[in-house]
Amino acid sequence: MKKILLNISAVAAVIAMTATFSACSSDDEQKEVTYGTLILDGVKSNYADSEEIGTRAISVTGDVLKTYWTTTDLVTVYRNNWQNKVGELHPKSDTSEEATPTRTKLDGTNFITDGLKEGDALNLIYPRATWDYTGQDGTWQTISTMYDYATANVSVVYIDANANNKVYGTTALFGKAQQAIARFTLLDSNGTAFNTTELTITTAGNQLVKKCSLNGTATDKGGALVIKLKDAGNVFYVAIRNDNEGADQYTLTAKDNQDKVYSYTRSDVTLGKGTFKKYKVTMRLQDDTYTQRDAYTDGGEEVWE
């Protein structure tokens, strides 16, 4: 296929205003692609089991995660049941200090409007268009920007052809987050910090999701989820999607600074989508036998001993 080169002035015109230009088709025929602007209200859901918890940009103060939008957040837009990407949206402002931080105005230029008509459905996803839970580094910052998935479906309300194809849609109500967020604080048998760089999580149900298609169907699941900290520490924030509905048995495994293997197994743990849970876990030498105490709550954390 031939490449079409645009001069600098043409590029500037595309950036500065909505434009129609020709692109090369597979058979070298010229095809017009029409671009416009998409404008939506975006509203996020809340996670459960926290005073202030939501989905998207999050910050941590003590045991509270606060949800808000930032101008760097990315919402990717598709048509035809996730088949065709047609554009990207960003919040117009940072909402961290606003009275309703979970609501924002989303807009984006260079939105493909070819064949679009009022009533058509659009599919939205954030924080990125690759749905993948591997490669986590144990920090809430990375979960916020890479692993805190939620989706929404909207309809086109009005297309203003006299305003460079400005498209208005229904409010994007991002439903329940598609994973749980868990905070694991690891301790040794003396109750002091158990520092490590890597935490491995497995379940008896063997349904931990690694990757999904854009419509939310798991395409890779089972086996272990491995979380690697940049520097040794004892606190791990983990985005967990478990397709085994209801309670499951979780096993956490890690090595100390002498490469001794420690683990802890807890049954009847439920980490449902859209929940935030905090756990304080006493790690045990893997070869040791021990009797578990019933889990109890201490300062908002569930204690596993």
3-state secondary structure of 4: coil
The answer on pLDDT for 39 being more than 80 is: yes
Higher pLDDT, 200 or 68: 200
pLDDT digits (tens, 9 = 90+) for 147-192: 999 999 999 999 999 999 999 999 999 988 899 999 999 999 999 9
- Global pTM reads 0.83
Average pLDDT over residues 234-256: 95
The answer on pLDDT for 256 being more than 80 is: yes
pLDDT digits (tens, 9 = 90+) for 120-140: 999 999 999 999 999 999 998
Domains of the chain in sequence order: 35-173 (no CATH), 181-304 (2.60.40.1120)
Higher pLDDT, 251 or 274: 251
pLDDT digits (tens, 9 = 90+) for 79-94: 999 999 999 999 998 8
**Which of the residue ranges 114-118, 169-173, 276-280, 298-302 would you say has the lowest mean pLDDT?**
298-302
How is the beta sheet containing 235-240 ordered, strand by strand?
235-240, 180-187, 276-282, 301-304, 296-298
